[in-house]
Amino acid sequence: MAPKPSFGDEVANLLHAAEGNPLRTCIQCGTCSGSCPVVKFMDQTPRRIIGMINAGLKDEVLKTNTFWYCASCYQCTVRCPSGIDIAEAMYALKRYTMWKNQYKEGLIGPTFSETFVKTIVRSGRSYEPLLAPTYIFSYGIREFFSEALNATNLMLKGRIPILPPRIKRLENFRRMIAHIIPIGGVE
């Protein structure tokens, strides 16, 4: 029987197409976290996350907001001296937490992503109004009104779609998706 993969191996397996070097080649130099524009808002810096993965600290990693706060700007990836694709690793961690349904409480990212995917599966195109409920109530009263005002302004300028768009060959599209994952669920 094959040995159980380590957490590091699991993350590496989720990095299917990433061309970077393995996470274990990290020399902990900190260039990634030094370049990151969002690091101030993360529980642990990206470098620490890689260190924690290499140390096998799975639960601690999954509890952080780090990868859900990643903006995928890839500044870390292009500068990493070990050639590790850190931004992709962040994507892999997001997928991992979605798959295991184990992530920090209060994060908007997972629900938003799930809803987004459901929207596309339904119609083939994204539709902002359907996505609004995933975040509009999460930032407090003032933000809610501010966002509502923004949305109204955008609507007045003709920048928000009224009717949800759809692609024509939707049936084929859905069958195509069903080939990859069971339709109706995204886990």
Partner 1 sequence: MTEKIGVYVCHCGTNIAGIVDVEDVAKWAAEKLQRRGVVIARDYKFMCSSLGQELIEKDIKELGLTRVVVAACSPHLHEKTFRNACKNAGLNPYLCELVSIREQVSWVHTDKVVATEKSKAIVSGGVERVIWHEPLEPLRVPIHPATLVVGGGIAGIQAALEIADAGYHVYMVEREPSIGGHMAQFDKTFPTLDCSACILTPKMVDVGNHPNITLLTWAEVTNVDGYVGNFQATIRQKARCVNTELCTGCGICWEKCPKKVIDDVFEAGLGKRKAIYTPFPQAVPRYPVLDKANCTYFLKGTCKACEKFCPTGAIDFTQQDEFLQIDVGQIILATGWDLFDVRRMPQYGYGRLANVFTSLEFERLSNASGPTGGKIVLRDGVTPPASVAIVHCVGSRDKNYNPYCSSICCMQSLKFAHLVHERTGAEVYNCYIDIRTPSKGYEEFYQRLLEEGTHFIRGKVAEVTNAYRTPEEEGKLIVQVEDTLIGKQRRIPVDMVILSAGLEPRHDAKEVGRLFGISCSADGWYIERHPKLDPVATMTDGVYIAGVVQGPKDIPASVAQGAAAAARALGKIQQKEVAMEPIRATINEDKCSGCRMCNTLCPFNAILFHEDKMVSEVNPALCQGCGTCVAACPAGAISGTGFSNEQILAQLDGLLLLNIKRLEEIPA
Partner 2 sequence: MKEYVYFPGCSLEKIAISYHLSAVETTQKLGIKLTELEDWNCCGATAYFHVDELLAYTLTARNLAMAEKIGSEIVAPCSACYKNMYFTNVHLNEDPDLAEHINEALQEDNLSFSGKMVVKHLIEVFSNDVSSEEIKSKVIYPLSGLRVATYYGCQILRPKKDHEDVEQPHYFEDLMSAIGATPVDFPLKLTCCGGSLLISSRPAAYSMIHNLLYDAQRAQADVIATACPLCQVNLECYQQQVNQEFGTHFAIPVVYFTQLIGLSMGIPPKKLGFGKEFLSPKKAIDAIKNIKSQEEVITQ
Backbone CA torsion sign across 129, 135, 137, 141: negative
d(CA 126, CA 63): 30
* Size of site (CB under 8 A) for partner 1: 22
Question: Is 160 a binder of partner 2 (CB under 8 A)?
Answer: yes
d(CA 15, CA 67): 14
- Rounded to 5°, angle at Cα 113 from 142 and 161: 65
Question: Is 52 a binder of partner 1 (CB under 8 A)?
Answer: no
Cβ 34 to partner 2, closest distance in Å? 13
- Residue among 45, 54, 64, 66 that touches partner 1 (CB under 8 A): 45
Question: Is 165 a binder of partner 1 (CB under 8 A)?
Answer: no
d(CA 44, CA 54): 15
Distances (CA, A) of 13 to 109, 139, 163, 181: 22, 35, 40, 18
CA 11 to chain centre: 14
d(CA 111, CA 51): 27
Contacts of 128 (CB under 8 A, 6+ apart): 160, 161
Cβ 146 to partner 1, closest distance in Å? 24
Residues 94-153, interacting with partner 2 (CB under 8 A)? 94-95, 98, 107-110, 112-114, 116-117, 120, 124-126, 128, 131, 134-135, 139, 143, 146, 150, 153
* Residues forming the site for partner 1 (CB under 8 A): 21, 27-36, 39-40, 44-45, 47-48, 75, 79, 81-83
* Residues forming the site for partner 2 (CB under 8 A): 14, 16-17, 37-38, 40-41, 65, 68-69, 71-75, 77-78, 85, 87, 91, 94-95, 98, 107-110, 112-114, 116-117, 120, 124-126, 128, 131, 134-135, 139, 143, 146, 150, 153-154, 157-161, 165, 167-169, 172-173, 175-177, 179-181, 186
